Amino acid sequence: MKILLIEDEHKIAEFVIEGLTAAGYTVSHADDGEKGLEALLLGAHDLVILDLMLPKINGFDVLQRARQAGNTTPVIILSAKVDLSDRLMGFDMGAEDYLPKPFFVEELIARIKVALHRHAPEQVREISVSNLMLDVVNHKVQWFDVTAVLSQREFSLLAFLMRSPGHIYSRQQILKHVWEINFDPETNVVDVCVRRIKRKLERGSNSRLSPIESVRGVGYRLRMEVEA
């Protein structure tokens, strides 16, 4: 499970990251509200731990903007603001839970488990966009009458684009989500992977446009409508 921690206090962040990592979670960290909101909107995390008193954008605004954008990732607020009015505001804005500081990491982990269990999705077997279908179980893609088996990276990249048709992702965003590492921005690994997917989809496709569209100077997106 991937958890995003949005916390500006270095010592608290280290404490939480150490505890969650020991419990088997993968933790990403943002030390201000602006970075945290950007990471949250990418939709690559299973749960968010959110401080309220953050630089640049406060935690309430981060949560409000995420919900307004349609992001439903469960959020646990972790804050020294313990007044009832603050806790009620957090829940009204869509927080899953509210844990006051100081806290025990064991209690935080227990609350994370409850939140993740509550939001556990049913097993998704396929992702479909128009005439493009991705078999999640077998890592196969079908485009009109063309069927191909994808590698793990190819599958992850195409699934990432298919979850937000029409949204343009930069190469750096794709690298961070699919490869989970910040590569050298000059690397062409994303372009190579996209070319491999396109070749597999274009075999026997009667010269149809690829469902993956390159946006010059920006990145890639999945076409909103895959034409016949």
Which residue would you say has higher pLDDT here, 137 or 81?
81
CATH number of 2-118: 3.40.50.2300
Phi and psi torsions of 166, nearest 5° = 90, -15
Does the domain at residues 126-222 carry the CATH identifier 2.40.50.140? no
Phi and psi torsions of 9, nearest 5° = -80, 115
Write the pLDDT tens digit of every residue in 1-35.
899 999 999 999 999 999 999 888 899 999 999 99
Which residue would you say has higher pLDDT here, 181 or 85?
85
Question: Which candidate, 165, 128, 121, places its Cα nearest to that of 143?
Answer: 128
Q: Is 4 helix (H, G, I), strand (E, B) or coil?
A: strand
Identify the burial level of 175 via C-beta atoms within 10 angstroms of its C-beta, where 0-12 means exposed, 13-18 middle and 19 or more buried: buried
Cis? peptide before 185, omega within 30° of 0: no
Q: Say if residue 84's pLDDT is above 60.
A: yes
pLDDT bin (cut points 50, 70, 90) of residue 175 is: confident
Spatial separation of the C-alpha atoms in residues 76 and 84, rounded to whole Å: 16
Domain extents in the chain: 2-118, 126-222
